[in-house]
């Protein structure tokens, strides 16, 4: 196992940033630390890197106790949200930095830098300064810089957080492909559940300094361990006392065995999706129920605003009974 974290606690003054974290991160996999801002996921990443010292607990990297090793000795690659580019150095020299520190022969450094430039598609930008690159290019440079030292683990702190939506999506796909090529144990922090679900092999959901759940994206989505995980991973609505995903609700125009019934009080179309609000007339549902279906389904049912409809959980839908 690549990274072992045992009993880690971390306080900032009175604020408990991490509480009793125990976690194993498997070798060669892409693990996402997912959670809301301020939940402690970045702190955990920094503890792994050695940028932050845990108050208690142990961190083992590749079988070596790294708890008291300074960041310089841990051989981790770290990528920051805001790139942390060395502004006065060219892209090439940025990437070469770690190797120069290690006093590798010049020829070896140059060969490695060229290889990495190619890997991150920056070959033609090698002599530019970071300021002349776009955000996405800068982040790829930062990634190449971190990979240059052949780290035992690659740590990324909200790596795409500062980029706009389109670039973010591209880089996300690219990171997945890169990881399939390089196979370095990778941990990345994100607050974007879509990013985590799409890219990660394993997701660790962290909230309030505690681990909520660990599992594969499917595990988490289909078998959430708590209301928090369910609601953090996607939209939820309340139907008959249960929390359920809006697209897991079956809707019918005709009276049938159902959990709730009421008129359609709101109709929003977002691209291929139609989102409805149904306001049941019973005491069980003080708030409207959200239902999501495709445009094709909505058309087939011939639904209109104000129509009375009957709702029930779809077959196989998972839900969490709220306490």
Partner 1 sequence: MADAIPTPLDAGPVQEAKRRVRSKRGPLAYTLRVVVIAYLFFLVVWPVSVVVQRAFAPVDGKPGGIGPLWERLTDPAAIYAFNLTLTVSFWAVVINTIFGVGISILLVRHRFPGRRVLSVLIDLPMSVSPVVVGLALVLTYSTSLGIFGDVLQATGLRIINSTPGLIMATAFVSLPLVIREVIPVLEEVGDDAETAAKSLGANGWQAFWRITLPTIKWAVVYGVVLSAARAIGEYGAVRIVSRGAEFNGETATLLIQNEYGAFNEAAAYAAAFVLVVLAVLALVVITVIRPQESHRS
Partner 2 sequence: MSTLDTERPEPAPAQPPLRRRRPRRSTLTRASGVGLGLAVVWFSLLVLIPLAAVVIAAADGGWDTFVNTITDGDTAAAIRLTVAEAALVTIVNVVMGTVIAWVLVRDRFPGKRVLEVVIDLPFALPTIVAGLVLLSLYGPDSPVGVNVVNTRQGIFLALLFVTLPFVVRTVQPVLLELDAEVEEAAASLGASRATTFRRIILPALAPAIAAGASLAFARAISEFGSLVLIAGNQPRNTEVASLKILKYIEGDQQAAAASVAVLLLLVAVVVIVALDLISRRVAARG
Tokens matching residue 182: 């390089």
Query: H/E element holding 188?
Result: strand 185-190
Q: Is 88 helix (H, G, I), strand (E, B) or coil?
A: coil
Residues 6+ apart with CB under 8 A from 239: 249, 259, 260, 285, 289, 311, 312, 313, 319
Please provide the DSSP assignment of 225-278 as one string: SSHHHHHHHS--EEETTEEE-GGGEEEESS--S-SEEEEEEEEEEETTEEEEEE
- Residue 169 binding partner 1, by CB under 8 A: yes
8 A C-beta contact, residue 286 and residue 274: no
Q: How far is the CB of 235 from partner 1 (least distance, A)?
A: 6
Q: How far is the C-alpha of 181 from the C-alpha of 240, rounded, in Å?
A: 47
168 binds partner 1 (CB under 8 A): yes
Give the DSSP H or E segment for 8.
strand 3-12
Rounded-to-integer distance, Cα 48 and Cα 68, Å: 11
The option from partner 1, partner 2, none interacting with 295 (CB < 5 to 8 A, set by class) reads none
Say whether residue 102 binds partner 2 (CB under 8 A). yes
Q: How far is the CB of 53 from partner 2 (least distance, A)?
A: 13
Specify the stretch interacting with partner 1 by CB under 8 A; choose among 21-29, 98-106, 165-173, 280-288. 165-173
Taking CB under 8 A as the rule, does residue 171 contact partner 2?
yes
Q: Among 12, 14, 13, which Cα is nearest to 46's? A: 12
The answer to whether residue 132 forms part of the interface with partner 2 (CB under 8 A) is: yes
Q: Which does 262 bind (CB under 5 to 8 A by kind): partner 2, partner 1, none?
A: none
CB of 186 to partner 1, least distance (A): 20
Q: How far is it, in rounded angstroms, from Cα 64 to Cα 187? A: 18
CA distance 78 to 147: 9
Out of 67, 137, 186, 290, the only residue in the binding site for partner 2 (CB under 8 A) is 137
* Helix, strand or coil, per DSSP, at residue 156: strand
Helix (H/G/I), strand (E/B), else coil: 89: coil
Q: Binding segment for partner 1 among 174-182, 187-195, 213-221, 253-261 (CB under 8 A)?
A: 187-195
User: Counting contacts by CB under 8 A, is residue 165 touching partner 1?
Assistant: yes
Short-list 217, 152, 199, CA closest to 1: 152
By CB under 8 A, is residue 42 in contact with partner 1? yes
Q: Which of 101, 182, 284, 314 binds partner 2 (CB under 8 A)?
A: 101
Positions in 71-90 near partner 1 (CB under 8 A): 81
Q: Judged by CB under 8 A, which of 6, 20, 114, 192 binds partner 1?
A: 192
- C-beta separation of 159 from 136 below 8 A: no
Site for partner 2 contains 113 (CB under 8 A): no
Q: Does 145 bind partner 1 (CB under 8 A)?
A: no
Binding partner of 71, given partner 1, partner 2, none, CB within 5-8 angstroms per partner class:
partner 2
Q: Does 119 bind partner 2 (CB under 8 A)?
A: no
Binding site for partner 1 (CB under 8 A): 12, 15, 17, 36-38, 42-43, 46, 52-53, 81, 158, 161-162, 164-165, 168-169, 191-194, 228, 231-235
Binding site for partner 2 (CB under 8 A): 49-51, 70-78, 80, 82, 84-89, 93, 97-98, 101-102, 121, 130-137, 140, 142, 145-146, 148-149, 166-167, 170-171, 174
């Amino acid at each position: 196992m690549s990274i072992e974290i045992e009993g880690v606690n971390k306080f900032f003054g009175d604020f408990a940033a991490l509480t009793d974290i125990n976690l194993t991160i498997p070798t060669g996999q892409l693990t996402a630390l997912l959670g809301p801002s301020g939940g402690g996921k970045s702190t955990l990443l920094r503890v792994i890197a050695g940028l932050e010292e845990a108050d208690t607990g142990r961190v083992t990297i590749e079988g070596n106790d790294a708890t008291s090793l300074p960041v310089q000795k841990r051989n981790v690659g770290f990528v920051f949200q805001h790139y942390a580019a060395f502004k006065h150095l060219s892209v090439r020299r940025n990437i070469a930095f770690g190797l120069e520190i290690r006093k590798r022969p010049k020829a070896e450094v140059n060969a490695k830098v060229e290889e990495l430039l190619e890997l991150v598609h920056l070959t033609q930008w090698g002599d530019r300064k970071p300021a002349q690159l776009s955000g996405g290019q800068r982040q790829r440079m930062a990634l190449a810089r971190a990979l240059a030292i052949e780290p035992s683990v690659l740590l990324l702190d909200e790596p795409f957080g500062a980029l706009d939506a389109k670039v973010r999506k591209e880089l996300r796909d690219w990171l997945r492909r890169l990881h399939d090529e390089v196979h370095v144990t990778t941990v990345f922090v994100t607050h974007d559940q879509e990013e985590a679900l799409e890219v990660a092999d394993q997701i660790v959901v962290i909230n309030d300094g505690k681990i909520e759940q660990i599992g594969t994206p499917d595990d988490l989505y289909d078998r959430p361990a708590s209301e928090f995980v369910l609601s953090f991973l996607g939209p939820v609505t309340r139907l008959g006392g249960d929390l359920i995903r809006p697209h897991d609700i079956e809707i019918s125009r005709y009276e049938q065995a159902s959990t709730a019934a009421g008129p359609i009080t709101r109709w929003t179309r977002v691209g291929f999706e139609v989102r409805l609000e149904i306001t049941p007339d019973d005491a069980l549902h003080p708030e409207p129920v959200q239902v999501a279906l495709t445009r094709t389904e909505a058309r087939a049912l011939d639904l209109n605003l104000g129509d009375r409809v009957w709702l029930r959980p779809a077959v196989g839908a998972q839900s969490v009974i709220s306490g």
